[in-house]
Amino acid sequence: MLDYNILPEEVHLHILSLVPATDLIRHCTLVCTLWRDVINSPTLWKTKCQHMGYTSKESLRTPKDWKLFYYLSSKKRNLLRNSCAMEKLKFWKIEQNGGDQWAIEDLPGTHGQDFPDKDVTKYFVTSYRFAARHDCGSQYKLVVQLLSEEKKPLKVFDPDTVMIEQWSDARWHQMEHTFRDYGPGVRYIYFQHGGQDTQFWAGRYGIRVTGSSVTIEPEDLTA
């Protein structure tokens, strides 16, 4: 039999931190008592978080459960499908579609202002992350709701409409909101945004939207 206790614990920690989490739990905990203790230690999961770049949004706050923080961070993904218009209008329900209606255009196209994410190549645009044209004013509206199983609002984010004046710098803007302490019972997330131009010109001179996202992240609780 091999004596795994010959190696220093720091070596075991380094080796096990490189093993996939599923294998750690299913197999490695059965090897020996030392490995089980190392795998159950907060240090191992903190190290795995560092390897993967999973960090707290607030640098002065520390997750009280590094293992849970690792698993929740690894499951993070955008819950919105087709957020960058790569599949045209698929998965989106058009609530209102006046003027020349919603369409898809290629980036760039906002007076030379590049979108921050180079992987995003298209955006949604209407005649009525968001931006306006340089030569036409527009307005943008976002509403996000956390809904119960009966689809009743439990928490609502409904900020004022953003107005962008004509002859703006056409820069891309990002609107963010984090729901906290919303309690149990959330089953659906309602996400709606849109806008229109303020000159009512023919053609698509209104708001441009792309790169939208809804993600679930672990809460940064102090240990």
CA dist 163 and 171 (Å) reads 13
The residue-averaged pLDDT of 199-220 equals: 70
DSSP track, the chain: ---GGGS-HHHHHHHHHTS-HHHHHHTGGGT-HHHHHHHTSHHHHHHHHHHHT---SSTT---S-HHHHHHHHHT----SSSTTSTTTTTT---S---TT--EEEES--STT---S-TT--EEEE----EE--SSS-EEEEEEEEEE-TT--EEEEE-PPPEEE-TT-----B-------S--S---EEEEEEEEEESS--SSS-S-EE--------------
Q: What is the dihedral sign for C-alpha 50, 51, 57, 63?
A: negative
The residue-averaged pLDDT of 7-24 equals: 88
Name the pLDDT band for 45 (thresholds 50, 70, 90): very high
Burial of 197 (0-12, 13-18, 19+ CB in 10 A): buried
Here the tokens at position 113 are: 């202002």
Give the closest residue to 137 by CA, choosing from 203, 209, 199, 204.
199
Rg of the chain, C-alpha, whole Å: 24
Q: Which is more confidently placed, 156 or 206?
A: 156
Q: Which is more confidently placed, 44 or 96?
A: 44
What pLDDT score was predicted for residue 156?
Answer: 94
Name the pLDDT band for 223 (thresholds 50, 70, 90): very low
Give the domains, in start order, of the chain with CATH numbers. Answer: 4-74 (1.20.1280.50), 103-209 (2.60.120.260)
Here the tokens at position 67 are: 């293992």
Greatest distance between any 2 Cα atoms in the chain: 81
What pLDDT score was predicted for residue 187?
Answer: 92
CB 182 within 8 A of CB 154: yes
The residue-averaged pLDDT of 135-147 equals: 82
Give the closest residue to 99 by CA, choosing from 203, 213, 28.
203
